[in-house]
Amino acid sequence: MRTPEADVPYGTLDLIVLKTLDAMGPLHGYGIARRIEQLAQGMLALNQGTIYPALLRLQQKGWIRSRWGTSENNRRARFYEITRAGKNQLAVETEIWERAVSIMSRMLEAKS
Amino acid sequence: MTGLRTLIARACALFSRRRDEEGLAEEIAEHLELLAIEYRRLGLPAADARAAARREFGGVDQIKERVRDQRGFLWFDMLRRDIRYAVRSLSRAPVFTLAAVSTLALGMGATTAIFSVVNAALLRPLPYPRSQDLWSVRTQFTDGRVTTGLVSPVELRRLKDAASPNVTVALSTRQDLTLLPPDGEPRAVAASGVDEGFFPLFGLAPVLGTGFPPEYFHRNGPTGAVISTRLWHSAFAGDPNIVGKTLSLTTGDMPILGVAAPEMDVPRGTDVWINLQLNPQDTGHALDGYLRMLPGTPPEMLRSRLGGVAMSLGRDYPGPERNRAFVIEPFVNAMVGDLRPVLIIVFSATALLFILACVNVANLLLARASRRSREVAIRAAIGASRMRIATQLLTESAVLATIGTVAGLAVSYAAVRALLRYGASQLPRLQAVPFDTPVLLFAIAMLVVCALGVGLVPVLQLAGRGIEQRLRERARTSGGTRATHRALRMMIAAEVAVAVTIVAGTGLLVRSFLNLQRNDPGFVSRGRLTFDVLLPFQKYRGPGVQSAWEQTLFTRLRHIHGVTAVAGSSDFPLLPGESGSTSLFRLDGWPEGHEHVVAFMHVVSPAFFETMGIRTLRGRAFADYDRPSTAPVAVVNESFVRTYLEGRDPLTAQISLGLGRVDPTTSRAIVGVVDDVKYGSLWSSADPAFYFVDNQSGNTFRLHVVVATNLPDPRMAIPEVRAQVQMMDPQLAFTVEPVSGVVAATLTRQKLGTTLMLLFGMVALMLAAIGIYGIIAYSSADRYSEIATRMALGATRANIFSLLVRQGLAVAAAGAAIGMGMALGAGRLASSWLYEVRPSDPWILGSALAVVVGVAVTATLIPVGRAARIDPAPLLRLE
Q: What is the pTM of this model?
A: 0.68
Q: Mind listing the domains of chain A with CATH numbers?
A: 6-109 (1.10.10.10)
Closest CA to B401 of B456, B449, B459: B449
Please tell me the predicted confidence (pLDDT) of residue B637: 94
Please tell me the predicted confidence (pLDDT) of residue A10: 62
The backbone torsions φ and ψ at residue A75, rounded to the nearest 5 degrees and listed phi first, read -125, 170
Q: Residues B189, B228: contact at Cβ < 8 Å?
A: no
| Among chain A residues, CA nearest to B71 | A56
Nearest-CA distance B63 → chain A (Å): 6
Examine residue B433 and state whether it is found in any structural domain, yes or no: yes
Residue B140 bridge partners (DSSP)? B325
Q: Residues B680, B581: contact at Cβ < 8 Å?
A: no
Last residue in a domain, options B29, B47, B72:
B72
**Interface check A99 vs B, CB under 8 A:** no
Partner-chain residue, chosen from B26, B35, B60, that has the shortest CB–CB distance to A76: B26
The backbone torsions φ and ψ at residue B703, rounded to the nearest 5 degrees and listed phi first, read -120, 120
Task: Using 70 as the pLDDT threshold, list the residues of chain B that sit under it.
Answer: 1-3, 14, 72-75, 162-166, 183, 338, 423, 461-484, 592-596, 659-664, 699, 878-879
Query: Across the interface, do A52 and B6 touch by the CB < 8 Å criterion?
Result: no
What residues of A are in contact with residue B52 (Cβ under 8 Å)?
Answer: none
**Residue B140 CA neighbour count, 13 Å, CB half:** 10
pLDDT tens digit sequence for B29-57: 888 888 888 888 888 888 888 898 888 88
Please tell me the predicted confidence (pLDDT) of residue A3: 46
What residues of A are in contact with residue B2 (Cβ under 8 Å)?
Answer: 61-63
Compute the CA torsion angle B281, B282, B288, B291 (nearest 10 deg).
10
- Tell me the one-letter amino acid at A37: E
The A76-82 sheet, strands edge to edge: A27-28, A76-82, A64-70
Whole-angstrom distance, CA of residue B208 vs CA of residue B231 = 13
Angle, helices A12-24/A51-61, rounded to nearest 10 degrees? 80
Nearest-CA distance B35 → chain A (Å): 7
Partner-chain residue, chosen from A47, A63, A77, that has the shortest CB–CB distance to B57: A47
Element spanning B529, H or E: strand B528-534
- DSSP character at residue B72: S
Partner-chain residue, chosen from B37, B60, B63, that has the shortest CB–CB distance to A73: B37
Examine residue B10 and state whether it is found in any structural domain, yes or no: yes
Let me know whether B92 and B110 are in one domain: yes
Residues 53-82 of A with CB under 8 A from B: 53, 56-57, 59-63, 71-73, 75-78
Let me know whether B687 and B748 are in one domain: no
Partner-chain residue, chosen from B5, B63, B71, that has the shortest CB–CB distance to A50: B63
Residue A76 bridge partners (DSSP)? A70
| Among chain A residues, CA nearest to B9 | A60
Let me know whether B154 and B205 are in one domain: yes
Beta-carbon contacts of B27 under 8 Å, excluding residues fewer than 6 positions away, are: A28, A29, A52, A77, A78
Whole-angstrom distance, CA of residue A45 vs CA of residue B257 = 92
Size of interface A-B (CB pairs under 8 A): 75
Nearest-CA distance B388 → chain A (Å): 23
Closest CA to B248 of B736, B734, B733: B733
Measure CA of the first residue to CA of the last residue in chain A; give whole Å. 28
Whole-angstrom distance, CA of residue B230 vs CA of residue B242 = 13
Q: How many residues are recorded in chain B?
A: 879
Counting beta carbons within 10 angstroms of the beta carbon of residue B560, is it exposed (0 to 12), middle (13 to 18) or buried (19 or more)?
A: middle
Partner-chain residue, chosen from A30, A53, A77, that has the shortest CB–CB distance to B67: A53
Here the ipTM equals 0.85
Let me know whether B659 and B583 are in one domain: yes
Please tell me the predicted confidence (pLDDT) of residue B578: 77
Whole-angstrom distance, CA of residue A29 vs CA of residue B57 = 11
The backbone torsions φ and ψ at residue B143, rounded to the nearest 5 degrees and listed phi first, read -105, 15
Closest CA to B109 of B345, B417, B422: B417
Examine residue B292 and state whether it is found in any structural domain, yes or no: yes
Partner-chain residue, chosen from A60, A77, A78, that has the shortest CB–CB distance to B9: A60
Closest CA to B530 of B731, B689, B722, B729: B722
Cis peptide bond N-terminal to B267, omega within 30: yes
Whole-angstrom distance, CA of residue B113 vs CA of residue B411 = 8
Q: Measured over all CA atoms, what is the biggest interatomic distance in chain A, rounded to whole angstroms?
A: 59
Nearest-CA distance A73 → chain B (Å): 7
Element spanning B509, H or E: helix B482-518
Query: Across the interface, do A28 and B58 touch by the CB < 8 Å criterion?
Result: no
| Among chain B residues, CA nearest to A80 | B27
State the SS3 of chain A: CCCCCEECCCCHHHHHHHHHHHHHCCEEHHHHHHHHHHHHCCCEECCHHHHHHHHHHHHHHCCEEEEEEECCCCCEEEEEEECHHHHHHHHHHHHHHHHHHHHHHHHHHCCC
Partner-chain residue, chosen from B5, B37, B56, that has the shortest CB–CB distance to A48: B56
Please tell me the predicted confidence (pLDDT) of residue A9: 64
Let me know whether B745 and B659 are in one domain: no
**Residue B150 CA neighbour count, 13 Å, CB half:** 18
Give the mean pLDDT of chain A.
Answer: 83
Let me know whether B615 and B679 are in one domain: yes
- DSSP character at residue B660: S
How many structural domains comprise chain B?
A: 5
DSSP B456-471: HHHHHHHTTS-HHHHH
Give the residue numbers in B contacting A (CB under 8 Å), as ranges: 2, 5-6, 9-10, 23-24, 26-28, 30-31, 33-35, 37, 56-60, 62-63, 66-67, 69-71
Let me know whether B471 and B592 are in one domain: no
Partner-chain residue, chosen from B2, B34, B67, that has the shortest CB–CB distance to A56: B67
Residues 10-29 of A with CB under 8 A from B: 28-29
Nearest-CA distance B395 → chain A (Å): 29
Let me know whether B185 and B286 are in one domain: yes
What residues of A are in contact with residue B33 (Cβ under 8 Å)?
Answer: 73, 75
Let me know whether B582 and B655 are in one domain: yes
Nearest-CA distance A112 → chain B (Å): 42
Q: Residues B409, B109: contact at Cβ < 8 Å?
A: yes
B275: three-class secondary structure by DSSP: strand
Query: Across the interface, do A52 and B62 touch by the CB < 8 Å criterion?
Result: no
Element spanning B227, H or E: strand B225-227
Q: Residues B596, B320: contact at Cβ < 8 Å?
A: yes
What residues of B are in contact with residue A30 (Cβ under 8 Å)?
Answer: 30-31, 34-35
- Tell me the one-letter amino acid at A18: L
Query: Across the interface, do A76 and B30 touch by the CB < 8 Å criterion?
Result: yes
Q: Residues B851, B503: contact at Cβ < 8 Å?
A: yes
Closest CA to B460 of B587, B328, B370, B583: B370
Let me know whether B721 and B843 are in one domain: no
Best A13, A35, A36, A48 member to test B by mutation, with max B CBs in 10 Å, is A48
pLDDT tens digit sequence for B548-601: 888 999 999 999 999 999 999 989 998 877 777 778 788 888 876 666 677 889
Q: Residues B867, B787: contact at Cβ < 8 Å?
A: yes
Whole-angstrom distance, CA of residue B16 vs CA of residue B677 = 79
What residues of A are in contact with residue B56 (Cβ under 8 Å)?
Answer: 47-48
Last residue in a domain, options B26, B51, B72:
B72
Strands (E) in B654-701, as ranges, are 654-657, 668-674, 689-693
What residues of B are in contact with residue A78 (Cβ under 8 Å)?
Answer: 23, 27
Partner-chain residue, chosen from B5, B30, B66, that has the shortest CB–CB distance to A77: B30
Burial B738-767 (b: 16+ CB within 10 A, else e): bbbebbeebbbbbbbbbbbbebbbebbbeb
State the SS3 of B530-550: EEEEECCCCCCCCCCHHHHHH
Alpha-carbon Rg for chain B in angstroms = 38
**Interface check A90 vs B, CB under 8 A:** no
Whole-angstrom distance, CA of residue B99 vs CA of residue B364 = 8
Long-range contacts of B65-71 (CB under 8 A, 24+ apart): B66/A50, B66/A52, B66/A53, B67/A52, B67/A53, B67/A56, B67/B24, B68/B21, B69/A53, B70/A53, B70/A56, B70/A57, B70/A60, B71/A56, B71/B10, B71/B13, B71/B20
Best A52, A59, A92 member to test B by mutation, with max B CBs in 10 Å, is A52
Please tell me the predicted confidence (pLDDT) of residue B779: 77
Range of the domain at B113: 73-129+339-475
Query: Across the interface, do B58 and A62 touch by the CB < 8 Å criterion?
Result: no
What residues of B are in contact with residue A63 (Cβ under 8 Å)?
Answer: 2
Let me know whether B570 and B616 are in one domain: yes
Please tell me the predicted confidence (pLDDT) of residue B553: 93
What residues of B are in contact with residue A57 (Cβ under 8 Å)?
Answer: 6, 70
Let me know whether B610 and B655 are in one domain: yes
pLDDT tens digit sequence for B220-274: 889 899 999 989 998 888 889 989 888 888 778 899 999 999 888 888 888 999 9
With the C-alpha atoms ordered A46, A48, A50, A51, is the resulting torsion angle positive or negative? positive
- Tell me the one-letter amino acid at B289: G
Distances (CA, A) of A69 to A24, A81, B169: 16, 12, 80
Best B37, B70, B74 member to test A by mutation, with max A CBs in 10 Å, is B70
Please tell me the predicted confidence (pLDDT) of residue B475: 44
- Tell me the one-letter amino acid at B506: T
Nearest-CA distance A50 → chain B (Å): 6
Examine residue B762 and state whether it is found in any structural domain, yes or no: yes
Query: Across the interface, do B58 and A48 touch by the CB < 8 Å criterion?
Result: yes
Examine residue B529 and state whether it is found in any structural domain, yes or no: no
Whole-angstrom distance, CA of residue B515 vs CA of residue B45 = 101
| Among chain A residues, CA nearest to B28 | A49
**Residue B318 CA neighbour count, 13 Å, CB half:** 5
Query: Across the interface, do B2 and A61 touch by the CB < 8 Å criterion?
Result: yes
- Tell me the one-letter amino acid at B61: D
